[in-house]
């Protein structure tokens, strides 16, 4: 069987993550390579410095390519930002008169009909996702294939984006030397990696707290019914600390990673943290509780902003009593407790699922978007191979050996604290 490789790239405000996947003969999907590097060229999901984005994408692709022993030709690229908009549409599907069975051609026509509407010059159609069908007035049909009807209507979730924002991202990735096979809106893609079948069916709100944005997707009866993006994420958490304590952003980021909490009431007052404010000639001693007070306010504000985004007429009667968080920003200590209090719903923190062979340390909420992009492309886009040649290296067998070198780059970039914890867990497992 010809090997089926797909490449997904998540270009975030703080990092670029590339994942190379391979579909095995048993139809399971495994990770063949992975590359993670920091990124400074994005702002709130938008390209702010195209050269910096291109450089980060090129480096991430190179690491993943060396890890898997393959050459990347094309990719699925994730897309987010407040320019992404969605709506639900009911349309009549044009077909021949008379009672006859619904065919694959009718379903294709339904999708085309749902995507035919007037768009402003600066808007581009990204996704048309059929939700349900109506056959001669009978609503709620999920798969009408083979059923007989005279009239066919389809309800679809339609997502559009800004032409200029899409073009900038497209050019930044293309300049890295690969072709974009398709752009995938991240709120929809991430759901493929973290939501369970019951959550999709019974109703759930998925919230991915990234570096510069928080992506929202609402699911019910098995399909997406609402998507939105808020321009607030983990970057703002660190920025608030930078302003509050007059320290540079890198120091604020390190402070968040090492001492960050959104539950100041549980933090001690005795342990002092020494900072070096840019406005002072001498060090400043603060406590973890003071750090927590700043972060608690930002987390509370973000949760209220998300609630406002969910106050849509078409969501009024949707039973969304489950809120699923993912993304690196949601890992902040105390985050879920605040969310549970403000949302008054069941909440959980989700890690990505669906790919075999994720390297140790990558089964983490911050990888959910990249995994979701890969899975969404495999399940919803035409079959294709994103690899141009094999470089003479067998993926199975040698991948794990090559991965140790590539993954060392990832390990070197991730916060020291995460690797210290990993080492502690390994020692405990080994009985050290």
DSSP state of 263: -
Contact between residue 203 and residue 361 where contact means Cβ atoms under 8 Å apart: no
How far is it, in rounded angstroms, from Cα 149 to Cα 140?
Answer: 14
How far is it, in rounded angstroms, from Cα 425 to Cα 116?
Answer: 54
**Ranges of CATH 3.30.1490.110 domains, the chain:** 85-162
Q: Give percent above pLDDT 70 in the chain.
A: 89
373-395 mean pLDDT:
79
Q: What are phi and psi of 139, to 5 degrees?
A: -90, 165
How far is it, in rounded angstroms, from Cα 354 to Cα 193?
Answer: 6
**Ranges of CATH 3.30.420.40 domains, the chain:** 196-349
CATH topology classification for 196-349: Nucleotidyltransferase; domain 5 (3.30.420)
pTM for this predicted structure:
0.87
**pLDDT tens per residue, range 216-228:** 999 999 999 999 9
DSSP lists the bridge partners of residue 230 as: 214
How far is it, in rounded angstroms, from Cα 39 to Cα 33?
Answer: 19
**pLDDT tens per residue, range 55-114:** 999 999 999 999 999 999 999 999 999 999 999 999 999 998 889 999 999 999 999 999
Rg for the chain (alpha carbons), in Å?
Answer: 23
Contact between residue 75 and residue 9 where contact means Cβ atoms under 8 Å apart: yes
Report the pLDDT value the prediction gives residue 394, as an integer from 0 to 100. 42
Q: What is the mean pLDDT of the chain?
A: 88
Q: What is the CATH number of domain 85-162?
A: 3.30.1490.110
Report the pLDDT value the prediction gives residue 389, as an integer from 0 to 100. 66
**pLDDT tens per residue, range 291-300:** 999 999 999 9
Contacts of 117 by beta carbon, 8 Å cutoff, 6+ apart: 89, 158
> Residue 282 region, left (φ>0) first, then alpha (ψ -120 to 50), else beta?
beta
Q: What are phi and psi of 193, to 5 degrees?
A: -95, -20
254-276 mean pLDDT:
89
How far is it, in rounded angstroms, from Cα 56 to Cα 41?
Answer: 8
């Amino acid at each position: 069987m010809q090997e089926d490789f797909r490449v997904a790239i998540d270009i975030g405000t703080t990092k670029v993550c590339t994942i190379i996947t391979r579909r095995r003969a048993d139809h399971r999907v495994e990770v063949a390579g992975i590359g993670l590097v920091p990124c400074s060229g994005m702002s709130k999901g938008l390209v702010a410095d195209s050269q910096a984005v291109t450089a980060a994408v090129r480096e991430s692709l190179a690491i993943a390519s060396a890890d898997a022993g393959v050459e990347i030709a094309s990719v699925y690229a994730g897309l987010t930002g407040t320019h992404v908009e969605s709506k639900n549409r009911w349309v009549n599907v044009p077909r021949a008169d008379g009672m006859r069975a619904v065919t694959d051609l009718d379903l294709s026509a339904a999708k085309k009909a749902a995507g035919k509407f007037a768009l402003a010059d600066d808007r581009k159609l990204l996704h048309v996702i059929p939700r349900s069908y109506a056959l001669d007035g009978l609503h709620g049909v999920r798969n009408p294939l083979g059923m007989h009807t005279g009239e066919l209507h389809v309800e679809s979730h339609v997502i559009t984006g800004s032409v200029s924002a899409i073009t900038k991202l497209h050019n930044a990735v293309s300049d890295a030397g690969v072709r974009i096979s398709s752009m995938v809106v991240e709120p929809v893609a991430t759901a493929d990696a973290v939501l369970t079948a019951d959550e999709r069916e019974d109703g759930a709100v998925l919230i991915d707290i990234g570096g510069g944005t928080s992506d929202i997707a609402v699911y019910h009866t098995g399909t997406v019914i609402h998507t939105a993006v808020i321009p607030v994420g983990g970057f703002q958490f660190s920025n608030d600390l930078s302003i509050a304590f007059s320290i540079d952003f890198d120091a604020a980021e390190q402070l968040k990673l090492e001492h960050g909490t959104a539950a100041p009431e549980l933090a001690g007052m005795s342990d002092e943290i020494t900072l070096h404010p840019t406005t002072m000639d001498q060090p400043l001693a603060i406590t973890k509780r003071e750090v927590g007070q700043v972060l608690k306010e930002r987390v509370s504000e973000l949760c209220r902003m998300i609630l406002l985004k969910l106050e849509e007429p078409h969501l009024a009667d949707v039973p969304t009593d489950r809120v699923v968080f993912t993304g690196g920003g949601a890992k902040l200590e105390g985050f879920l407790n605040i969310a549970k209090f403000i949302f008054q719903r069941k909440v959980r923190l989700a890690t990505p699922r669906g790919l075999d062979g994720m390297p140790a340390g990558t089964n983490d909420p911050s990888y959910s978007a990249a995994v979701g992009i890969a899975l969404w492309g495999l399940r919803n886009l035409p079959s294709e191979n994103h690899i141009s040649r094999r470089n003479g290296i067998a993926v199975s067998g040698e991948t794990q050996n090559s991965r140790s070198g590539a993954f060392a780059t990832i390990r070197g970039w991730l916060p020291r604290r995460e690797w210290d914890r990993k080492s502690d867990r390994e020692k405990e497992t080994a009985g050290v």
